[in-house]
Structure 1
Amino acid sequence: MQIIIKCLKGGSTVIEVDETTPIAEIKNKVEKDLKIPISQQTLVLLGSPLQDGKKVGDYPKIKEGTKIYIVIKKPENLQSSLGKFLRRYYSEEQCKIIVDEFLRNFQNKVDNLSLDDLERIAISNLNV
């Protein structure tokens, strides 16, 4: 059967699925067709998010021609990712102090890189 994946910001794709198709596979096809990274996708059917570990057959409301909407999550930045990790171990106030100090040190080190340093970093990461 064919289902329609529609992006709220415009764009859509039609995907061929059956009851055994994993939701994660649908996300892979969406990434390929609409160029939306899997990590930023949330597929929504009738207001409920679809879970990656499930299959199309686990959702009886998915039938031929069903429209599934995709919500694009904003990617996390370094500050929010670091804060989320540190909150497991430190209080909110301690996290803020640690993150602020880390970002200051990081920015200082980046500001002090020469063009040669940046070129070496770029080359070493592109050759991986």
Structure 2
Amino acid sequence: MKLTVKNLKGGSCLVDVTEKTTILELKKMIEKDIKIPAAQQTLVLMGKSLQDEKRIEDYPKVKDGTKLYVAEKKPETLNSALNRFLQKYYSDEQCKLIVDEFMRNFHNKIDSLSLDDLERLAKAEIQS
């Protein structure tokens, strides 16, 4: 079946899927055309977000010719990712102290890098 996926910021694409296609697989197909990483996509049908682990067949309103909308989520900040992880093990107050100390140390380390260091890191990332 063919689905039309419209980007809320403009642009659209046509995607060919089966009923067994997962929403995550669909996002990966969309990523190629719309240039939004799959992890940052939210697919919306009739005002409801589609869940990555479900299949097209789990959404009976999705039929051939259905129009889905894709919204781009902002990437999670390092602060919020650390805080979310630490909340499993520590209280809110402890999390704040740990995250604040980590970020202070992180910024000190980044500030101490030279331009040569940054260039080496960038080259290593590009080559991998």
Give the structure-2-normalised TM-score.
0.88
Aligned residues: 128
CA drift of 1:10 comes to 1.6
- Give the match for residue 59 of structure 2: 59
Alignment of 1:72-111 (within 5 A): 72-111=72-111
Q: State which drifts further: 56-65 or 32-41.
A: 56-65
CA drift of 1:54 comes to 2.4
SS at match of 1:105: helix
The percent of aligned pairs where both chains have the same amino acid is 59
CA drift of 1:122 comes to 2.8
- Give the match for residue 16 of structure 1: 16
CA drift of 1:113 comes to 1.4
SS at match of 1:36: coil
Q: Where does the alignment leave 5 or more consecutive residues of structure 2 unmatched?
A: none
Give the structure-1-normalised TM-score.
0.88
> CA–CA distance in 2 between the matches of 1:21 and 1:87?
34
> CA–CA distance in 1 between the matches of 2:77 and 2:26?
26
- Give the match for residue 2 of structure 2: 2
> CA–CA distance in 1 between the matches of 2:115 and 2:74?
31
Q: Do residues 48 (structure 1) and 37 (structure 2) align? A: no
Residues 60-104 of structure 1: per-residue CA shift (max 9 Å, x gap): 211222111112111001111111111111111111111111111
> CA–CA distance in 2 between the matches of 1:15 and 1:106?
42
> CA–CA distance in 2 between the matches of 1:116 and 1:50?
45
